[in-house]
Amino acid sequence: MKKIVILTGAGISAESGLGTFRDEDGLWAQHAIEDVATPEGFARDAHLVHDFYNARRANAAQAQPNAAHHALARLEAEHPGEVFIITQNVDALHEMAGSRNVLHMHGQLDRALCGACGHRWDAPAVMRPEDACPACRVRATRPDVVWFGEIPYGMERIDPALSEADLFAAIGTSGQVFPAAAYGQHARRMGAHTVELNLEDSAASRDFDDCLRGKATEIVPLWVEGLLSRA
Ligand code: OAD
């Protein structure tokens, strides 16, 4: 098991107090995706979209990494090969736990992006449509998150990593959003052993050789312990 690639989703941050998207009381039960997570929604009502991400940024600022984030940081520190985390999460809990090799394929809440010139900078706690870009001064400031209909970040790193993975694990993701939902299938086809760690079956469970069920804070530390003891 030299190269381990791990895809994480909202389920890994749920026990840190950050809501998931598709669980019963999840974010998509309270907000319409097309209003708050599409370029068209932002064009229609930038205030609404900023309010949504400002609230999520405030929640994320209160959150602490949990035992699952810490276990993955330990894996990266102690595993003799590479550990690469591809996260769909826009929070910074992996980094706060100490993980370094992390790619935010859906962007980051704590970053701002200029829709006019592409400049990026640290997001203030509260972003507003009238904020000007510090580089070009145009008022087209948006959160640096990937919306539906946009291309996720880092695809040029993700594709080769999936091809080279010896072990691929998906943690806390419902397997409903592409392209991430196809990563298990892709990695398995390219020769990786695949493991899914989730509270329940996901839409992608059939792509995994092993499925571990339970809360991330319980099953991820046990899984990491097992990997490190076999290394
Ligand atoms: P979802 O909300 O779709 O799925 C979360 C998954 O985590 C579900 O399968 C839950 O059963 C599981 N889960 C919940 N609590 C858990 C816990 N304590 N331990 C382990 N598993 C738990 O979230 P994602 O799959 O991350 O994209 O969603 C993918 C993308 O859809 C997000 O990045 C976001 C969203 O729309 C964009 O906004 C572009």
pLDDT tens digit string along 38-64? Answer: 999 999 999 999 999 999 999 999 999
Contacts of residue 69, Cβ cutoff 8 Å, sequence gap at least 6? 12, 13, 16, 93, 94, 96, 97, 99
| Ligand 1, pocket-test mutation among 36, 104, 153, 198, most atoms within 8 A of CB | 198
Respond yes or no: is residue 106 known to be catalytic: yes
- The rounded Å distance from CA 13 to ligand 1 centre is 9
- The predicted model gives 204-229 an average pLDDT of 98
Pair of tokens at residue 6: 């791990």
Better-scored residue on pLDDT, 230 or 199: 199
Which residue's alpha carbon is nearest to atom 31 within ligand 1? Answer: 177
Is pLDDT above 80 for 1?
A: no
Residues with CB under 6 A from ligand 1: 9-11, 14-15, 20-23, 26, 37, 88, 106, 146, 148, 172-174, 176-177, 198-200, 202, 215-216
pLDDT at position 141 is: 96
- The predicted model gives 145-150 an average pLDDT of 97
